[in-house]
Structure 1
Amino acid sequence: MPSIHRQSAMPTVVTKPAGPRKERVVGFVKGEVTGISRPANIAESWALYDFEMHARACAECRNPYDVHRSGRQLCDEGHRLAQQVAHFLYMKRDGEAYSTEEEDRQVVRVEIQPTYEEARGLLRAIERGIRHRRQFVSMDRSYHIAPRLPLRTKNQKPVQPVQVEQAPALPPRPKGNHEQYEWPASPRQAVINVAKRGSLYESDMEEQRRNFAKYNIEVREPSHRDMREHRHSGYYR
C-alpha cells in the first residue's frame, strides 16, 4: 500500500527589522498660567462704546494713538470718556486689553470687539504714555480752587478778628394771660454820687427844693375868646 506523505505547513511569523523608535515628547507651556480671559462686561462695554462713537465723530479725538504721538490732546468730552475707559481697562505691550481689577488674584484679559479701532487706539496711547512717562489721560478730577489772598508785606500787621458780643435772646412773649414769664429787668441808670459834687452843689440843690415847695407854679394857656379878641385887635399881626 503506497504510503502517503502528509506535508504539514507550520504558520510562520514574518518579522521585519524595526527602525529606530520615536519617543513622544509632551510639551508644557512655559511658566504658570495665572490669567483668565472673558468678554467685556456691561460697564466695560458701555465705556468702550461711548468713546468709540465719540471718537468717530470728533476731529480732535479721531485716531487717539496718532493724537498722542503728535503731542496733541483730546477734547474735553473725549478726555472724560477716555477716563471712563481707563478706569476699567488697560493694555500691555502684547497688545491685549486687561481689566484693572483681578478675579481670584488672577489677571483678567478682556476681549474687545474688533470693530472698536478707536477704543483700541486709546488703550495703546495710554500704554505708550506710561512707557514714555507722558501721561495721555489724567485720572485726577478737577476741583474748584478759590483765588488766593494777596501776599502780606513785611510791615503789615496781622488783622485781629473782631469779636461781637450778642445780647441774650429774650423769651417769647406770652400768648395768654394764664401764662406768666419773668422778663429781664431794664438796665439801671448810672447812680451819681452827690457827695462828690462838693458843699456848694449841695447848698444849691437844697435851695431849689425849698423854692419848689414854696411856689405853686401853674401853666395856663389863653382861652379861645382871648385869642379872638387879640386877633381882632391886631396883636398877632
Structure 2
Amino acid sequence: MNRLWSRLGVRALSVGLLAAGLGGGLYLGHGQDDQQQSSQATLVAQANAEEIALLKQREADHAAARAYRRTAEDAAAEKAAGEARQAAANARKLEVKVIADAAATKKAADAKKAASGGAVPYAGHIPSSCNDFSGSRQIGCALMLDAGFKIDQFPCLDKLWKRESGWNYSALNKSSQAYGIPQALPGRKMAKFGADWESNPATQIKWGLDYIEGRYSSPCGAWGHSQEVGWY
C-alpha cells in the first residue's frame, strides 16, 4: 500500500513538473514574442522619425532657396529700377542742355544779326489765316490773333502801319524821332516788350498792339482815328 502511494506521488510530481515546464515555456514564448514586437515597433518609429526629419530638412532647404531667389530677384529689380531712374535723369539733363545750347546759339545769332543791321527772325507760330502775308506783315497778323483780335481787324492794322512806317522795323521819323513799325515816340518805349526793340519786328508789333488796345480798343478803332486826324 505504501508502495502504491509512493508511485502515485512520484507520478503526480512528474506531471506537476511537466505542467510547470510547459507553462514556463509558454510564458517564455510569449515574452520573446512581445520583446520582438516591441523591437520592431521601435525600429518603425525610428524610421518614421528619421523620414519626418528628412522631409522637414528638405522643406527648410526649399524655403531657404526660395527666399534666396526672392532676395536676388528683388535686388536685381531694384538695380534695374535704379539704372532706369539714372538713365532718365541723364536724358533730362541732356535735353535741358540741348535746349539751353540751342537757345544760347539762337540768342547769339540774333544779337549778331541785330548788330549787323538785320531784323531778328520770328520763331513763333504762324496761323494758316496769315499765310497770304509775308515778312513783318505776316508776323503782325499772327501776333494780332495772339492778342485776341479777330482776323477781320487785320486790314485796318495793315493800312495803319503801311501809312506809319511801311511795316519797316527800322523806320525813323527824323523830325519827331518816332521809331519802328508802330512809330513809337520815343522808340525806347518798346523796351517794355524786349531789349531788342530796335531790331525785332515782333517786339515792336507787341508794343504797338498793346498801345492800340489801350487807347483805341481795336486796330480798326486806331485806323479810324488816323483817317480823321492823320495820326494815332
Which interval holds the TM-score relative to the shorter structure? under 0.3
By percentage of residues, which structure has more strand?
A: 1
TM-score, normalised with respect to structure 1: 0.18
Structure-2-length-normalised TM-score = 0.19
Q: Which has the higher contact order (CA 8 A, sep 6+)?
A: 1
Structure with the bigger percentage of helix:
2
